[in-house]
Amino acid sequence: MDEPLLLPCLGVLLDCDGVLVDSDASVHSAWGRWATEHGLDPATVVAMVYGRRSTDTVAALVDPSGHAAALARVVQLEVEQAHTVPPVPGAVELVTSMATGTWAVVTSAVRVLAVARLRAAGFPDPGVLVTGDDVDAGKPHPQGYLAGAAGLGLAPADTVVVEDAVAGVHAARAAGVGAVVGVGDRALQTDADLVVTDLRALRWTRGGLTAAGPGVLRAPGG
């Protein structure tokens, strides 16, 4: 894709894991260990995790009486590995090119984990950070993205969401955002308006978010 594609917007709402930070290895390790400890198949459990709050995944797998302890354990395992999580290529450069008030992070992760991963990967503190702790219903419910847009003082239609997971794209659509950019191979399984390899393909301009170059895996109509 040679000519830049403009997605008009006043602000960008970014998921964290798989979009800003590459946490796949950490997720596989922590949730795999957690699954083994609970007598569950690691591959099955890991496949359930992406885009969802930990509390929702745990609730689907553990008896209610053990939910609190099981949730605390997986959060502990993930936080212990937060320092190993690198940024997705181009992510730090993108957000540092944007003024405060034009971008927000909307993640299913608990706040302590999201903050630890963002800081370890070298990101500035987001002016607006909506985590799994801040919503009553996690993705694919739109509550998080509605809160992110409100935090920027914008209507959802004036924002673009950057996501990597099916649940996150569904949440963005339900929130009524202007467009959705998918990141990575998982996003190819979604109906994101376009899909990029990583955030090196994206630029912030006065008119909104642009995408161009070989990092565009799927363009509108593709």
pLDDT per residue over 96-145, tens digit each? 999 999 999 999 999 999 999 999 999 999 999 999 999 999 999 999 99
Catalytic pick from 15, 22, 56, 164? 15
What pLDDT is stored for residue 221 in this prediction? 65
- Which token pair is 184? 């990575």
Angle CA 153–163–193, to nearest 5? 95
Handedness of CA 139, 75, 199, 124 (dihedral sign): positive
Q: Do both 92 and 182 map to the same domain?
A: yes
Confidence check: pLDDT of 12 > 90? yes
- Which token pair is 48? 């359930």
- Which token pair is 137? 């219903």
Confidence check: pLDDT of 17 > 90? yes
Confidence check: pLDDT of 220 > 70? yes
Q: Do both 91 and 151 map to the same domain?
A: yes
63 is catalytic: no
Catalytic pick from 2, 17, 24, 41? 17
| Burial class for 134, CB neighbours closer than 10 Å (0-12, 13-18, 19+) | middle
- Rounded to two decimals, the pTM is 0.91
Question: Which domain does 46 fall in, by range?
Answer: 24-83
15 is catalytic: yes
Dihedrals φ, ψ of 27, to 5°? Answer: -60, -45
Confidence check: pLDDT of 1 > 90? no
Q: Do both 72 and 36 map to the same domain?
A: yes
Any idea what the CATH number is for the domain that residue 198 is in? 3.40.50.1000
Q: Of the candidates 33, 48, 83, which is a domain's last residue?
A: 83
Query: 3-state class of 138 per DSSP?
Result: coil
Q: Do both 146 and 188 map to the same domain?
A: yes
Q: Of the candidates 39, 56, 83, which is a domain's last residue?
A: 83
- Which token pair is 54? 């930990």
Q: Of the candidates 83, 100, 128, which is a domain's last residue?
A: 83
- Which token pair is 83? 């320092």
Q: Which residue type is seen at 74?
A: V
Q: Do both 28 and 120 map to the same domain?
A: no
Q: Do both 153 and 169 map to the same domain?
A: yes
Does the N-terminal peptide bond of residue 214 adopt cis geometry, omega within 30 degrees of 0? no
Q: Do both 155 and 199 map to the same domain?
A: yes
- Which token pair is 164? 């990597």
Ordered alpha helix ranges (H), the chain: 24-37, 42-49, 54-61, 67-80, 91-96, 111-120, 143-151, 166-175
Q: Do both 100 and 190 map to the same domain?
A: yes
Beginning with the edge strand found earlier in the chain, give each strand of the sheet holding 5-8 in spatial order: 5-8, 208-211, 202-205
Instruction: Report how many domains make up the chain.
Output: 2
Which of 91, 108, 119 has the alpha carbon at shortest distance from 183? Answer: 91
Q: Do both 138 and 180 map to the same domain?
A: yes
Confidence check: pLDDT of 222 > 70? no
164 with 187: CB under 8 angstroms? yes
Q: Do both 34 and 17 map to the same domain?
A: no
Residue pLDDT, tens place only, 199-219: 999 999 989 999 999 999 988
Hey, how many other C-beta atoms are within 10 angstroms of the C-beta on 83?
A: 12
Measured in Å, how far apart are the chain's first and last C-alpha atoms? 11
Q: Do both 143 and 186 map to the same domain?
A: yes
Residue pLDDT, tens place only, 141-179: 999 999 999 999 999 999 999 999 999 999 999 999 999
Q: Do both 66 and 103 map to the same domain?
A: no
C-alpha dist (Å) from residue 66 to 55, 61, 69, 107, 136 = 12, 10, 6, 25, 20
